[in-house]
Amino acid sequence: MKITVINGTEKKGVTYRLKEIFLEQFKGNAEITEFYLPRDCPNFCAGCITCFGKDQNLCKDAKYIQPIEKALHEADLLVFTSPAYVFHTTGAMKAMLDHFGYRWIPHRPAKEMFGKRAVIITQCLGAGGSSTAKDIKDSLSWWGISYIKTVSFRLMSDVKWDKIPEKKRASFTSKLTSTAKKFAAIDYSKPAHTNLITKAKFYMVRSMQTGLGKENPEYTDFKYWKANGWLDKVRPWKNA
Ligand SMILES: Cc1cc2nc3c(=O)[nH]c(=O)nc-3n(C[C@H](O)[C@H](O)[C@H](O)COP(=O)(O)O)c2cc1C
């Protein structure tokens, strides 16, 4: 199987250690591709809307975005990690997710995302781990992913791994290991079930795109939906 990991920080700190514990269960059995932010996507979205209106490959940051997108599409399992920074995901993670705005269901979602599985690992000192996970989950669910597991930790101690009490580290390890074992046992040849919420989003946008296409048949998103057959009988999920 293939796993793509998007690390919301380059720091080899607590977030990194938690991610390593999770991946431990897959080592030797999975091809793992990792991206570290901001290193692998160092720029902000400039808001030029070229990706929305014309072509994502004309983005000034295409050389960073294209390899990330390829790895996301090819993976069976996606892993996103982030510490809470002022109750939210890191600026680096947000900057990367902004570049994929054009992949939200109202625009040009990738069919590869429907049926994929994802795990979001966040941690915080005291509060903000859930809102951090939600920042990432918002994008993943609007990309079309239904099967998203979030695992969030509160340190309530020192923020250096070696100074976190042994008992606490053991409980983090146990939770991550059991989650990883569940994910390692999945048969990835079968796509994950696409849930009703994802389908409802799809049908809402399908109706919107049909209307937009009547007004302007050259509209980029409409042409994409039409070319995929989604305005006819084709659907991006397999368990239709
Ligand atoms: C800029 C910044 C903002 C942070 N904001 C929060 C916060 O809102 N809530 C919280 O509980 N911890 C916060 N933390 C602590 C981190 O979530 C995290 O626990 C700590 O940075 C250790 O993780 P790391 O070793 O992976 O960087 C913050 C840390 C930084 C550097």
Whether 74 maps to a domain, the answer reads yes
Q: What is the CATH number of the domain that holds 178?
A: 3.40.50.360
> How many angstroms is it from 124 CA to the middle of ligand 1?
5
pLDDT of residue 228: 98
pLDDT of residue 238: 85
Atom of ligand 1 nearest to the CA of 88: 8
Atom of ligand 1 nearest to the CA of 128: 9
8 A C-beta contact, residue 86 and residue 5: no
8 A C-beta contact, residue 104 and residue 62: no
Structural domain count of the chain: 1
pLDDT of residue 239: 66
Whether 138 maps to a domain, the answer reads yes
**Domain limits at 114?**
2-192
Residue 204 tokens, joined? 């809402």
The pTM of this model reads 0.97
Could you give the 3-state DSSP secondary structure of residue 109?
coil
70 lines ligand 1 (CB under 6 A): no
| pLDDT < 50 positions in the chain | 240
Nearest CA-CA partner of 76 in 29, 137, 19: 29
Whether 228 maps to a domain, the answer reads no
